[in-house]
Chains A and B, each alone.
Chain A
Amino acid sequence: MVMALRKRVLRIIKENKGRYIGIVILILLGSFYFIAATGVANNLEKMVVGFAEEYRQEDLTFSTDKPIKDISALESETGTLIEAYRQYDVKLSNGELRLLSPSSKINIPAVLSGRGLENPGDILLDPYFSQTQGLDIGGQIELNGKTFNIVGTMAVPNYVYILKNLYDVLPTSGFGIGIVSGADIEAFPELSSEAVTVYGARFHARENINAQTTKLHGLLIEKGYSLSEWLDAKNNKRINMPYGNISSMKSMSFPVAAAFFLLSCLIVGVMIMRTVKSDGVVIGTLYAQGYRRRELTRHYMAVPVLLSAAGGLAGTLLALPCVRPVVDSMLVHYVLPDKGITFSPLNLTLAVLMPVAFIGLSSFLMMRRILKKTAVELMKGDEQKAKVNFIERALRLDRFKFNTKFRIREQVRSIPRLLFLVLGVSAASMILLFGFTFNYSMNVVMDKGALERYVYPLEYNFKEVRNLQDGGIPKGAEPYNTLRCYPEGRESVEFYLVGMESDSVGFKVNDIRGNALSRDQVNISSPLASRLRIKEGDTILSLVSKLDGKSYSLKIDGIVKAYGEQFVYMPLDEFNHLTGQPLGSYRTVLSSHEIDFDENLLAGVMDARDPEAYENVSMPTTLIVASVSALAVLIAVIIIFLVTSLMIDESRNTISLLKILGYRGKELAKLILNSSAPAVFIGFWLGLPFMLAFGNSLYGYVAEIINMLIPMMVNPLYVLISFVLIFAVYEVTKRLCGRKLAKISMSDALKAGAE
């Protein structure tokens, strides 16, 4: 580019510093979000999925009534790796440590610090346990009279989230795991009565896990084994907890960043087109002087390319140090090897080049139309003269007051500018509303979800199916039985089929209107009914049992009002009959009070007496909402500021003329700055359906991936707060732009000549 023209690029930017800074921030946010979200998602995936793959996480865990005889034959028959490990719980004065024997085929332990097991008496501990117990590598721990040397910390793939029992929801305070050699476990004298053997299985073929699971189950039953604690990884909280974070981060990363880039493209494109248009006579003159089109294209492209490269680069650099703390906070409850934070070179390149390509292209397309004109055409200055578009022409505004007419015309004067404002405010409102709705939905799930359903707050899950004929249930308690099912062909829609007694009172079972439903019929939870598109009187055909692959059909009698829960309730006797279990079979006891069951018989206890304890395991929603709201407000400020300042610049001569004609500052501000109010209003309300569509598709995606249903609960109060917030931003921005308006001098119109 010719030197003199090159100097002009920086001058163009300097002339409208505020506007260009706004654009750079918008691009920066896009790149920042893209790198941060993909960085978090990829690093979480690398740590969680990478650990699962590298250290061969089990697909299935189970126990048997007797040791499996020929494991290798079973392995080759089912295409599976099966490994037995010993498990022995040692009580301590201030906690409990579960000793596991090291496995070598699946669930292989990863040493996090220190060294692996080498000598008899060596022990590896989970890092949280060593931390809470104040134990250090090199120290010792005494377990049932035997002293072990702590040689390191470790993570195992089937205890990523350390829950004592398989069906526990919350970690048990003071509970941890440790790995000692098989010989050391066997050396405990009381072992024969208290240690258990647990099996883990991992299929060679990584597809159709459900079918392979059912096949293995059938084969083991066929061979005469009685199975207990049969649980696949997808439903095993020790394994599946961190997967939700990965899915939601992955699903959010690209669309949000792309939305930022597209918004930036629109505004930069519009602005570049206007700059080129207003320079029409200069361009014509330069053509006449012998400049080539490509030289001028390069000149005008320099602005968008510089802005997008600066924004992209700054966003990328700012995002890099933010990924580690986010990943750490998301994995704070999980034990995983730290693989270090890495970034995909492709994503880094995309974060910088994507805005350059998007914005460069849109600017190029916008300016090409003008640069194609001949020198004579351009020098006539037609490009600078404002044209009346078809909407302006079609509008008949006679019945309105002048101020209303003026504001309407001011808005429809530039359709891309109006579009940018409406879409930008919609995007900001959508983000803001989504933050609030997400927060409210999660609160509703916590307040009115599963925990609220429990009238009897204690739930005892047994390792094996029991029978009422072998002994009664204490007063104030009731039995129920469960089976994990899915509709044929939709394996992602897993839910519990629950058998409960017809006089059960342990659960609230109310219909949509809040009336109690009969327990003597088949009732489906409302979220599951809507997911399966089922209504009262419909029949669910081909319901497949996850345990043995058997298929059932059920006629639905009632719909239970629920938030996020997926279940079908039916009478216990019918349940047992349907699933081929003996009459009186049950797996769980729901109780109003604590019952002293033998701990060895239990697979888990759920205690709903203190719902607040569950808030710790839910996602840190307050932080998410606060950051999302701040982001939305920032976007709204930038967009409204950009459009208003663009509007002021484009109406410079009109404003100047109105000043000459005797308009006061306040009247001008009302006329010009208030003209965007309807667009902001429409943009906000468009944000609501956009948010619902976005939220539903995101929640639908999450439901398909991790089978977690989050209800879309829009709270009118939060909508009102968002509305007030967006308009507060608009008011603040108007004040910022008011100064710009005041600076416009009357001499502009006097010098400008023709409008």
Chain B
Amino acid sequence: MFLSVSNLTKSYCTGTITHVLKGVDLKMERGQIGVILGPSGSGKSTLMNIIGGVDRADGGTVEVGGERITDLNDNQLVEYRRESVGFVFQFYSLVSNLTVAENIEVVSNISKNPLKTDEVLSAVGLSDKKNRFPRELSGGEQQHVSIARAIVKNPKLLLCDEPTGALDFQTSRSILKLLQEVNKKYGTTILMITHNSAIAGMAHAVFRLRSGEVAESAHNSEIIPAERIEW
């Protein structure tokens, strides 16, 4: 099993104690696309942050590619993030005063075996815009850059937090198509958070989160190509 989350718990204390994750379990094979569905406050982002090594769990374990990341110290988590995980955010989180190419180099700069920037740019269809600044691009194009930045390190796991949440239908579809291509081309395992249940059609594994618990998990035998997804 490539990704294995067992009995994961997390709570926050903001005056009162809020239990965000209450014993979450999920599993994914290498090279799969997984989708986590759930309403706001269900604990999707917290789960993703813990899997990404950005946040720490109170209890339970997370194993990625055989490495138990819940046991790692801060320095080891940094190593994990820089070598094994790629992030794609809802609002792209690009560095506004760096060009498209430079935004990708932000990651390749610290990776041991990065892909070539031009190759990644070509893969996301932005070769002709490498010297543009983020503000000079559309939302969809910015998300393409964000994906390029995430895959340039050739990560074992790509975590996408609402990658289409800020985009229109057509653009969203192009982003999903791109993610599917990345998955195929590089064999990258992708875990995606979304509100949009239609996206579940393109995933091998689907997890529905409700109030910090996995209410339902399913595995698709028939994967729909992203360009055929409708909502």
Chain A: residues with CB nearer than 8 A to chain B? 385-388, 392-393, 396-398, 402-403, 405-406, 409-410, 413, 653-654, 657-658, 660-664, 667, 746-747, 749-750, 752-755
Residues of B within 8 A of A747 (CB): 54-55
* Closest Cβ neighbor of A412 among chain B residues: B97
Known A-B contacts A386-B96, A402-B102, A662-B82; the reply to A750 vs B110 at CB < 8 A is no
Q: Is the CB of A661 within 8 A of B92?
A: no
Query: Cβ of A653: which chain B residues have Cβ within 8 Å of it?
Result: 93
Flag if B54 contacts A663 (CB, 8 Å). Answer: no
A420 to B80, CA, bound (A): 39
Interface residues as binary, B48-60 with A (CB distance below 8 Å gives 1, 0 otherwise):
0100101100000
B96 A388 Cβ-Cβ under 8 A: yes
Which residue of chain B lies nearest to A387 when distances are taken between CB atoms in the complex? B135
> Do A409 and B97 have beta carbons less than 8 Å apart?
yes
Q: Does B72 contact A (CB under 8 A)?
A: no
Which residues of chain A are near B95, meaning CB under 8 Å? Answer: 654, 657, 755
Residues in A with CB closer than 8 Å to B94 are 755
Inter-subunit contact A388/B92 (CB<8 Å) = no
Contact of B107 with A by CB under 8 A: yes
Q: Which of A386, A398, A664, A746 contacts B54 (CB 8 A)?
A: A746
* Chain B residues closer than 8 Å to A752, beta-carbon distance: 91, 93
| B92:A402 contact, CB within 8 angstroms | no
Contact, CB under 8 Å: A755 / B82: no
If A660-B54, A662-B82 touch, does A409 touch B98 (CB 8 Å cutoff)? yes
B213 within 8 Å of A (CB atoms): no
User: How far apart are the CA atoms of A413 and B90 in the complex, in Å?
Assistant: 25
Partner pick for A402 among B49, B52, B106, CB 8 A cutoff? B106
Mask, B93-113, CB within 8 Å of A = 1, is: 111111001100111111000
Closest Cβ–Cβ distance, residue B98 to chain A (whole Å)? 6
Q: CA–CA, A138 to B134, complex, Å?
A: 89
A402-B105, A403-B109 known; A388+B82 contact, CB < 8 A: no
Report if B81 contacts A (CB, 8 A): yes
Docked CA distance A393–B135 (Å):
12
Chain B residue with Cβ nearest A753: B91
B79 at interface by CB-CB < 8 Å: yes
Q: Pick from B45, B107, B136 the residue with the most CB of A within 10 Å.
A: B107
- Answer whether residue B78 sits at the interface, using C-beta atoms and an 8 A cutoff: yes
Chain A residues lying within 8 Å of B80, measured Cβ to Cβ, are: 662
Q: 4 closest A-B pairs (Cβ-Cβ)?
A: A662-B82, A662-B81, A753-B91, A754-B91
Q: Does A409 contact B102, Cβ atoms closer than 8 Å?
A: yes
User: B residues within 8 A CB of A402?
Assistant: 102, 105-106, 108-109
Taking the complex as formed, is B87 at the interface, i.e. its CB lies under 8 A from any CB of chain A? yes
Q: Which of B49, B55, B109, B131 has the most CB of A within 10 A?
A: B109
Q: Which chain A residues border B101 with CB–CB below 8 Å?
A: 398
With A661-B87, A661-B110 already in contact, the answer to whether A413 and B97 are too (CB < 8 A) is yes
CA distance A662 to B77 in the complex (A): 8
Residues B130-177 near A (CB distance < 8 A)? 131, 133-136
- Take A386-B97, A402-B109, A657-B93 as given contacts and tell me if A662 and B78 are in contact as well, using a CB distance cutoff of 8 Å: yes
How many residues of chain B are within 8 Å of chain A by beta carbon?
Answer: 36
Q: Judge whether B96 and A385 touch: CB under 8 Å.
A: yes
Q: In the complex, which residues of chain B have a beta carbon less than 8 angstroms from the beta carbon of A385?
A: 96, 135
Contact across chains for A755 and B102 when beta carbons are under 8 A apart: no
Q: Which of these, B49, B90, B96, B131, contacts A755 with CB under 8 Å?
A: B96
Ordered by A's residue number, 7 sampled pairs between the chains whose C-beta atoms are within 8 Å are A386-B97, A405-B98, A664-B78, A667-B110, A747-B55, A752-B91, A755-B93
Question: Nearest chain A CB to B157's CB is how many angstroms away?
Answer: 13
Per the 8 Å Cβ criterion, residues 37-81 of B in contact with A are 45, 49, 52, 54-55, 75, 78-81
Complex CA–CA separation, A752 to B91 (angstroms): 9
Q: Is the CB of A393 within 8 A of B98?
A: no
Instruction: Return chain B residues, CB-CB under 8 Å to A413.
Output: 97
Q: Are B78 and A753 in contact (CB under 8 A)?
A: no
Residues from chain B with Cβ under 8 Å of A409 in the complex:
97-98, 102
Residue among A393, A405, A409, A750 with most chain B CB within 10 A: A750
Shortest Cβ gap from A662 to chain B (Å)? 3
Cα distance A657–B103 when bound, in Å? 11
Given contacts A654-B95, A753-B90, A755-B95, whether A392 and B81 have CB atoms under 8 Å apart is: no
- Cα–Cα, bound, A392→B136 (Å): 13
Please give me the residue from chain A that is nearest to B105 by CB atom: A402
A664 vs B131: C-alpha distance when bound (angstroms): 27
CB neighbours (8 Å) of A746 from chain B are: 54
- Which of A386, A397, A663, A755 meets B92, CB within 8 Å? A755
Kindly name the residue among A661, A746, A750 whose own CB sees the greatest number of chain B CB atoms within 10 A. Answer: A661
Report the bound CA distance from A387 to B96 in whole Å: 8
With A403-B109, A660-B52, A753-B93 known, 17 other A-B pairs at CB within 8 A are: A385-B96, A386-B96, A387-B135, A402-B105, A405-B105, A658-B106, A660-B54, A661-B110, A662-B80, A662-B107, A663-B82, A667-B110, A746-B54, A750-B49, A750-B54, A753-B90, A755-B134
**From A393, A397, A749, contact of B93 by CB (8 A):** A749
A390 to B79: give the CA distance in the assembly, Å: 37
Q: Are the CB atoms of B102 and A406 closer together than 8 Å?
A: yes
By beta carbon, the residue of chain B nearest A662 is B82
Chain B nearest CB from A295 CB (Å) reads: 32
Q: Report B-chain residues with C-beta under 8 Å of the C-beta of A397.
A: 102
Pick the residue among A405, A657, A662 that contacts B110 (CB under 8 A). A662
Which residues on the B side are within 8 Å of A398 (C-beta)? Answer: 101
In the assembled complex, which residues on chain A have CB atoms less than 8 Å from the CB atom of B52?
A: 660
Contacts of B134 in A (CB 8 A): 755
Q: Min CB distance, B39 to chain A, in Å?
A: 19
Cβ–Cβ < 8 Å partners of A664 in chain B: 75, 78
User: Contacts of B106 on A, CB cut-off 8 Å?
Assistant: 402, 406, 658, 661
Query: In the docked arrangement, what's the CA distance between A406 and B99, Å?
Result: 10
Q: Which residues of B contact A660 (CB under 8 A)?
A: 52, 54, 81, 87
User: Once the chains bind, are B109 and A393 in contact (CB under 8 Å)?
Assistant: no
Interchain nearest-CB distance for A690 vs B (Å) = 30
A749 to B55 CA separation, bound complex (whole angstroms): 13
Chain B hits for A393, CB < 8 A: 133
- Give Cα A660 to B106, complex, Å: 12
| Residues in chain A near residue B107, CB distance under 8 A | 661-662
Within the assembled complex, what's the spacing in Å between the Cα atoms of A374 and B107?
Answer: 39
Contacting residue for A388 out of B81, B83, B89, B135, CB 8 A: B135
Shortest CB distance A656–B (Å): 9
A755 nearest in chain B by CB position:
B96
Cα–Cα distance between A220 and B39 once the two chains are bound (Å): 110
Counting chain B CB atoms within 10 Å of each CB, which of A410, A657, A753, A754 scores highest? A754
Q: Nearest Cβ in chain A — how far from B200, in angstroms?
A: 24
List, in ascending order, chain A residues with CB within 8 A of B78's CB: 662-664
What residues of A have a CB within 8 angstroms of the CB of B90 in the complex?
A: 753
CA distance A413 to B80 in the complex (A): 31
Complex Cα gap A406–B98 (Å): 7
Please measure, in the bound complex, the distance between the C-alpha atom of A747 and the C-alpha atom of B107, giving whole angstroms: 19
Contacts of B91 in A (CB 8 A): 752-755
Q: Complex Cα distance A402/B90, Å? A: 25
**Minimum CB distance partner of B139 in chain A:** A754
Which chain B residue lies CB-closest to A663?
Answer: B110
Residues of B within 8 A of A405 (CB): 98, 102, 105
Query: Which residue among B80, B83, B90, B110 has the maximum number of chain A CB atoms within 10 Å of its CB?
Result: B110
Within the assembled complex, what's the spacing in Å between the Cα atoms of A209 and B166? Answer: 84
- By beta carbon, the residue of chain B nearest A754 is B91
Residues of B within 8 A of A396 (CB): 131
Known: A387-B135, A667-B110, A755-B95. A662 touches B83 (CB 8 A): yes
Residue among B49, B94, B97, B134 with max Cβ neighbours from chain A (10 Å): B97
In the complex, which residues of chain A have a beta carbon less than 8 angstroms from the beta carbon of B93? 653, 657, 749, 752-755
Scoring B45, B89, B96, B105 by chain A CB atoms within 10 A of each residue's CB, the highest score goes to: B96
CA distance A749 to B90 in the complex (A): 11
Distance A461 CA – B52 CA, assembled complex (angstroms): 91
Given A402-B105, A409-B102, residue A661 in contact with residue B97 (CB < 8 A): no
> Looking across the interface, which residue of chain A has its beta carbon closest to that of B142?
A754
